[in-house]
Every structure is written in C-alpha cells, then in structure tokens.
Amino acid sequence: MVYSYTEKKRIRKDFGTRPQVLDIPYLLSIQLDSFEKFIEQDPEGQYGLEAAFRSVFPIQSYNGNSELQYVSYRLGEPVF
C-alpha cells in the first residue's frame, strides 16, 4: 500500500508493553452527578444555583432607592 506524504506522517506505532495502569472513569456519570448537584435546591445555600444567587443578591441601585432581592427559584419541565 502506497501512502501519501501526510498519511506517512500520521502513522503511529505503539511499542509499549505495559498493561493499562488505571481504569478509565465513566465521564458521563461524573458530569450528570455534577449537574444534579448544581441544580438541586439547597436550603442552606452551600452549593449550586442557590449559592450563586445568594452570592450576588441583593442588588441595589446606585442611588439606593431600590433593591432587588432573591427569594427562591423554580425549574420547570422542558418543553421538548
């Protein structure tokens, strides 16, 4: 089989004799667990969206006449 110049540069050979050292973790489960923890409502406000909202609220106007306070959040079911 004749390889072009770019195909010759892409050929990779593995001369390793070691067995696999670590098992590859299931990355999708790590992402799903992290997402569930992020959107979970935490009454103490230690992590997730609750902590993010509590860190930026209350928002006050420059002249001090008005203030926007955070009370709670609710996530609805997606339409799709």
As a whole number, the mean pLDDT across the chain is 84
Q: Which residues of 4-33 are buried (b: 16+ CB within 10 A; e: fewer)?
A: eeeeeeeeeeeeeeeeeeeeeeeeeeeeee
Cα-atom radius of gyration of the chain, to the nearest Å?
A: 26
Q: How confident is the model at residue 43 (pLDDT cuts 50, 70, 90)?
A: confident
Helix (H), strand (E) at residue 67: strand 67-68
State residue 1's pLDDT score: 67
Share of the chain above pLDDT 70, in %: 89
Distances (CA, A) of 30 to 25, 44, 59, 77: 8, 23, 34, 23
